[in-house]
Each structure stands twice: as structure tokens, then as C-alpha cells.
Amino acid sequence: MKLARFAAAVLFAGALSHALPAAAAAADRSPIQQRADQFLALVNASYQALYTVQQHAEWDAATDVSDAHDAASTVASKALAAFMGNPALITESRALLEHESELDTLTVRQLRRALLLAAEGPMTNPALVSDRIEAETQQASTMNGFTFRLRGKDVIANDLDERLVKSTDLAERREVWEASKAIGPSLRPGLVRLQGLRNGVARELGYPDYFALQAANHDMTTAEVLAMQDEFLRTLRPLYEQLYTWTRYELAKRYHQPVPDRIPADWLPNRWGQEWEALVEVPGLDAALAAKSPEWVVKAGERFYTSLGRAPLPATFWSGSDLYPVQPPSTRRKNSHASCWDMNLDHDIRSLMSVESDEQWFTTVHHELGHAYYDLAYSRPGVPYLLREGSSPAFHEGFAEVAAMASRQAPYLQSLGLIPAGGRSKDDEIRTLLHDALATVPFLFFACGPMTHWEADVYAHQLPQEQWNARWWKYVNDYQGVVPPSPRGEEFCDPVTKTHVNDAPAYYFSYAIATVFEYQVYCHIAKTVLHQDPRRSNFAGHPEVGAFLERMQAPGASRDWRAILREATGEDLSTRAMVDYYQPLMDWLVKQNRGRRTGWTASAGTAEGTVR
């Protein structure tokens, strides 16, 4: 109740202090523009205040899982949803947009953003919104509070991941993989409920389903999203087939087994088979990082950005973040998924991680700080609070991955003393390309394939829960060429073990867009801004790179993402840069795979992935 009263007081104060000055400042504008200015002044002030309360409550719930924190998070989420989904706000936004031609572009974008936010919690049906928020909170609590067990002992997710990376004992690997899926049945009931609730809130504002709402957040339709994902896969399939074939034979050799027709899921170094880079160690990197502290890893990430001319992270980042694993004897439980948080849309940036001194976390730190610096770039007076976000949701991941990609390049690693100053041999350069391709190309076939198509089925086609696991494994086979180690019936719920299915639904296609964006922007910077070979580029120490990125980032959501990308790179979104980047690897793989079977057997009734 205290939190609800505080939110109401902040909303009233924000409305009173911002609406009247806006009216005076807009006296020389048209009547409809003045009306919109007054309305948006109130909405922006109240949105920022309530957003801040919500973020703090959700942060507490993620960093210290408890019933009390879950309850506070629910109240804060309801307060924000009640405001943004208010019927009067929806009505006024729609009424103003009927005069779109009389309004400036920034106003129109704010009004459309307000309606998209309203669609997440339309108070035209307050009971539905309340039920959805409570269900989301309960699902997060179930997920964050789950204790993994292996051979009778409690383990954390990092332990399972490490064993899947390092173990060559197939019996152990199968136990670990199955332990990682044990959370699925406990999450199924919550997702069944959320399937209906999420679709329900989307329909309140005229969207056919929740997937369509998320597509609209990218200015696309469901059909356009699926077509784009399929086009990514079509253009990248020759490279994936070569990587897949090399991996199939490599794993068979590693485990002393016959070469399988399709790759067993427990053979791969990732719980979902989405990233395979652990099969190839970048020369010297893991050993060098083992000698560094986790604190050094985080500070190295910050130094990368300051070398581009960006300001040091705010002091509140260091005082407020939760950066390292919870150590015994502490019983505190926290979300194990790395994330970056914009707490107030005005420079209070934090990160939730569990940093350790290894290659994965070195890259993750550069990635997460990429989110932080994007947040900081658009947190400026020219961008209203409603538009202080990525121009597209994919832009946030894209910019973060541009930094992650730059962090893997040899010249940068040499400058940090993580690999020898003499450079890499030709063999090492190919291995590095192979490592990076295994991190990104299989990811795209997971993201564009099973994740996007399964969630489209769940929301757009209301796939019944009795078919969830079968449909999931059909897509995993068809798109990835991966099969479970043993039959997985509907008593399991393997897709729900993926964090994003629970807390970022119908969103994974955005990561795929971001990956293609990453290569396009990274290669453009290397070639055009720095005049360097993209495979041997070093962004660090070049303020012109920071300036280029900040120009793309500063508008936030005040401009269309396609226009920003086209203006910066001179072309529309395309996998061309990615294909070009890996051409030397493609040539090498073709030679390695000569005489081998490529591809895999697809499910009955599809033409994808036939063995040749």
C-alpha cells in the first residue's frame, strides 16, 4: 500500500508541475499541437516517475528473491500499468493521432509509443492486467528460485554450463543436460496461464495476439518478422551447413563415437544448442583471463568505452550494480541471467551479472556495458522519456554485440596482454574465425528457427500445451539438425527452460535482427571509419568510433530504426556483411568437409535439411 500511495503522489506531482509550463511554452503552436504538448508533458513526467519505482522494485526481486520483493514488484508493475493503460490515456492518444498530419514527428512517435505501452496493460480490462502481472511475477519467482540438482546435490546454472563445456564423459553429459531441463515441468503451468493472459492484453488494444504486438514494436507484422527470419536462414544456410558438418565430425572424434546423422543435444556445449564456440578455444585467452580478477574483467570493459571517447560509467553504476556470483554461506538467491538496467531513464545505470574470469564473461561484460552506454547516449533533454529506448528493440542488442565483437579481435586482445604481441598465425586466425562463427551462426539458426517459430505458434496460432514439446523438437530438428538424447514426451516442457520464453516472450527474433545488425555496423566501422580489415580491427583508442556510434544512438526511439541504419551504413539490413566476414572460413570449411555428408534429415513433411 505504501508503494501504491507513493506512486499516486508522484503521478499527481508530475502532472501538476509539467502540464502548465508546457502550455505556456507552446502558445505559438497550433491548437492540436498545444493539446498534444500538454498531454505528453503529463504522460512523460508520470511515466518516468512510475517507471523508476517499478525498476527499483524489480531490481530487488531479481537480486534478492523473496516473497516480499515479489509482492513489491507486483504492486509497482500494477501502478505503471494502471497509468499507461488508463482508458483516458488510450482515448486521448488515439484522438490526437487522428490529426497526425497537424502534429510534428516527435509528437507522433510519442503517441504511438504510448499506445504500445498501453497494449502491455490496458486498463479497459483491469482484472486481466492484474492477473497478467501477478502471473508474470509468479513465473519469475518460480524461475529464479529453482534449485538445480545433479547426482543428489544442489548446483547452480553456471556449474551445469561448465560441465557441458568441459566434460567428455557422455554419461555425465546426459545427466547434466537432463538436470538442466528439470525446471521445465514446474514452469509449464505458469506459461499456460500466461499464453492466454498475454494474448488477452494484446487483443484489448486491437492486436490479434501477443506475437503481433511484439512485431508491431519493431514496426513489422508477424508475417514480415517470420519472412525476415527465414530470409536470414536462407542466405546463411550454406555457411551453417559447413559449420554443422565440421561440428558433427569433430564431436564424434571427441567422444569416440560414430558420426551421427544429426547432433545429439547433450553433445553440444550449451543447454539449448544455440552457441557452440566452446568447441574451439581462442589461443591463450582462457588461460590469460584465469590470471585476472573478476573486477579486472569489468574494469577492462569500461576502459574499452572510455578509450572511444565515452565518459566513465556513473558512480551509481558501481554502488548499485550486482556484478559477481553469490558466495557461500550467503543464502541470497538472484537471477542468473546477465542484464543491464536503466533504473530511471536519467543516467542511473546498473548491471546484474555473475562475472568470473573467463572468456565468456569477458565478452559478456563488453556486451552488457554496450547496453549501458546506449542508455546514456539517449538520456538527454532532446529525447522525451517515452522515447528513451532503442530505436528498435533490436538496436539495444545490436550495439551491445558490436562491442562484444570488437572485444574478440586480436589487436584489441594484444593491447590488453591477453594474447602474444606477435600476432596470430594463419592457423590461429582461422581458428578464431571458427570460434566466432560457432558463437553466432548456430545462434541465428536457434533464434530464427525454434525460438521465433515456436513462440509464433504459441501466441499467434494458440498451440495447445499438449503439443508444445513435440513442436519444439520438430523445429530444433528441422532448423538446427539437433535431436534429444532420448524421447522427450509432453511430460517435459523443454522450450520453457529458456529464460526468455518466460520473461521476454515473443522477443527472440529481435536478437536475430540484432546479430545481423551487429555485423553490418561493425564491418562498416572497420572498413569505412577506420579503413581496417574487419577481421583484424581494433576500435579501442579511436574516438571517431565512439562518435559514430553515439550519432546512431543519441536519437533513441525518436527516429525510425531503418532510417538510422540506412543513413549510417548506406544500406538496408542484410546478412551480406556477415557472409563476407566469414568467407575465408567458408573456404577452409569446404576443404575440411570434402567427402563428408552435409546437412541432416528433417522431420517428415519438410524439405529442409536433407542429407546430401
Q: What is the rounded CA–CA span in Å between residue 63 and residue 21?
A: 39
Task: Identify any residues that bridge with 340 across adjacent strands, giving them in sequence order.
Answer: 351
**Separation CA 529–CA 581 (nearest Å):** 17
Take residue 538 and report the three cell numbers written for it.
581494433
Q: Annotated catalytic residue: which of 368, 389, 455, 550?
A: 368
DSSP 449: I
Question: What are the backbone angles phi and psi of residue 478, rounded to the nearest 5°?
Answer: -65, -45
Evaluate whether 355 touches 300 at the Cβ level (below 8 Å): no
Q: What is the SS3 assignment for 267?
A: helix
368 is known as an active-site residue: yes
Enter the C-alpha cell of residue 163: 560441465
**Distance from chain centroid for Cα 473:** 22
Question: Quick one: DSSP state of residue 286?
Answer: H
Rounded CA-CA distance 434/442 in Å is 12
Pairwise CA distance, residues 176 & 165, whole Å: 11
Which run of H or E residues covers position 148? Answer: strand 148-150
> Cα separation of 158 and 382, whole Å?
42
C-alpha cell recorded at residue 460: 499467434
Q: List the catalytic residue out of 99, 337, 347, 500.
A: 500
Angle, helix 184-204 to helix 126-144, in steps of 10 degrees: 160
Sequence ranges of the binding site: 367, 371, 397
**Separation between Cα atoms, residue 379 and residue 381, nearest integer Å:** 7
Active site residue 500: yes
Catalytic site residues?
Answer: 368, 500
